[in-house]
Structure 1
Amino acid sequence: MPTQLPASEFATRLDAVRDRIADAEVDAGVWVSATSIEYLTGFAHIQTERPVVLAVTQDRIELTVPRLEVERVESNPRIDHVHHYRDYPGGNPIGVVVEMLDGLDVESIAADGEGAPGVMGYAGPSFADAWERADATDGKLTVETQAWIPKMRWAKSDAEVDLVRESARWANLAHRYLADYTEVGAHPATVSQRASMDGSRAMLDALGEEYVARTRGDGPVHAGYITDEQTALPHGHTANRRLEPGDVMITGATANVDGYFSELERTMFLGEPGEEQRHYFELATEAQQLAIDALGPGVEISYVDEVVAEYFEEQGVADLARHHVGHNIGLDGHEPPYIDLGWSEHCESEATDYDPDDATMESGMIWTIEPGLYTETAGYRHSDTVAVTEDGIDRLTTFPRSIEGNTIRIE
């Protein structure tokens, strides 16, 4: 039961970015994205108005953080030195970053942003502007932009796939709790809380000290659903109404395992579904199976969306589709690439750093497969997490997909 990435994963990632730093002929790589910083160092933080900036050279790794993060990062074995500033806006975050870079004898960087991102009210200078304003430095700082980490995350290592598989294992359990606790008269929020709590308790009890704490104030497992008319909206809300006979429910379950996530969704019925409900359920489920069957190494990513689009067109329901087939998943709920009709064209666009090879699937990519249909009264969508392997696929979520397995019987 893998619950944490081995140290060798970070060593491999750092070697890879140092090769890119050398190829780019710059002194350092710099990152402001919280996900990229976590990917390279294992230090996870919440991105707020307080910038966190990572600098990697060929022989050093240094990090600038707000004062409140110092104790959390000092024990990280991959960070050679931690710089900090007084809380924003009283402190000078980018000024401290300039000092960090100057101390590393850096004059050129490849960064994932021109400066810290403007989130939650942060507004500060770019790295280059702050460098020019600093009295302690000479010359100008050359800043190139790069997007190395998002691309590196497309294909997962075996260790990453194992973490997503572990996430799926607990998502499956929590989804079973969700189905078991669903009944006429229950409130969706209460059922979700109970299933999430029991799923989290089971996971934490089973894993014990092996589980790495990654949440604050809640558990690592979540399961819930949207109901009835809200299901007609792909991103509907949990309605403030109790469950009634005949309700359609679109569920969602996941678990956090060392920052990695899976995705499990089902269309469920409270009581025996009607003829129309069965019709759309079967169409959506068949579309999902067609998409899963189309996956594999070397497959054009856009092709999978085309298969579903053609099927929906043949069945006369193309106007009820609202989104593409799926997306990559890992440290984020949504990651590129996207199983979309336009992905191949996107890779050929001059507006991206992609190339034609990026239009095809490769071993290690992990997909959510979730084509859906949405009528005026209800939505129909399953989502499964599926990994591409060297010779095929590996479906990680395993909750039943049949209409019988997703019907809640009313006594």
Structure 2
Amino acid sequence: MSQLFSPIWLGELDLANRIVISPMCQYSAIHGDATDWHLVHLGSLAMSGASLLVIEATAVEEMGRITHGDLGLYTEENEAALTRIVAFCRKHGSAKLGIQLAHAGRKASSQVPWQGGRALSADGDPWKTVSASALPFADDWHVPEAASEDDLDRIVAAFETATARSVRLGLDLIEVHAAHGYLLHQFLSPISNQRTDAYGGSLENRMRFPLRVFEAVRAAAPASVAVGARITGSDWIEGGVTVEEAVAFASELRARGCHYVDVTSGGISLGAKIELGPGYQVPFAAEVRRRADIPVWSVGLIVTPEQAEDIVASGRADMVALARTVMDDPHWAWNAAQVLGAEVERPPQYARAAPKHWPGAGYKVEARTPLGRAAE
């Protein structure tokens, strides 16, 4: 039997297979409110056959947005707008639903990617940013304020409030974003954290604030809601976070009731030299899983069904989290099930496109091109 299509539990959350649709920023919100774009984007992915759909990085406070187009969960209007999207996904989709709660820190107040992705200029309506230390993300970026104790207290409270809103929305899972160079990662990495107080210096100190945030989220969510974290396996830069530190952080998270970690990498500096390739982050996930004894998701250039199956079957990760792979093919899980001899739930309106009803499905699988092999 396919391991990719075997069930798994994360705490009290039961999932039908090991396929996660990873949070993908859409930069299409208005004042933090979800829009019709989210209805179509998330609605289609909720019926993709993946067992879990995680809503994009969602700011816990207004100044924690990456861009003006970021999704938020810091006002009643934000919550109401997202309520409509969640209801649609529940009605028409089969995926369980999660959300990634985030704060951009020094990477906030920037342009959307298709406008350049740089720091907002004076005529772009920028806002004040905070970080672990008063160090800019890159040249020509704004210099953030080093977060004060009042800032830290406010941000923890914002995560708590966003968690309460997530619970009211009826979401099944909450992921704390502590990677990709955003605020919690900024505290974890020596590249961005040069504090001399209790939040800087040693790994124990650098973990202190991210763990405080996680504890607040875990305490604000009922036991029925799975709570995990996205962490970095490497900063890909000398003097940055290493996989050994990732193992230590994951172990501390597990001790605080974390149900899984999603292991990614990079994002802390434009100077990082990332070695891209198929499944390039899988080794980090495998090391964390082996040494921290916690369920692990792996993400990053996981493209073919055979590749995903091998990652799970070999024990390198418990689940695979797909992003651009499902942007390219929103029905990737349907195709993977056919390749691997498994079954996956489809909306009844699309049932006649299943292999047992439509011969064309077989032609499609035969014509596909494996990752890394040129089409003949």
TM-score by length of 2: 0.26
Higher relative contact order (CA 8 A, sep 6+): 2
Instruction: Determine which structure has more spread, i.e. the larger CA radius of gyration.
Output: 1
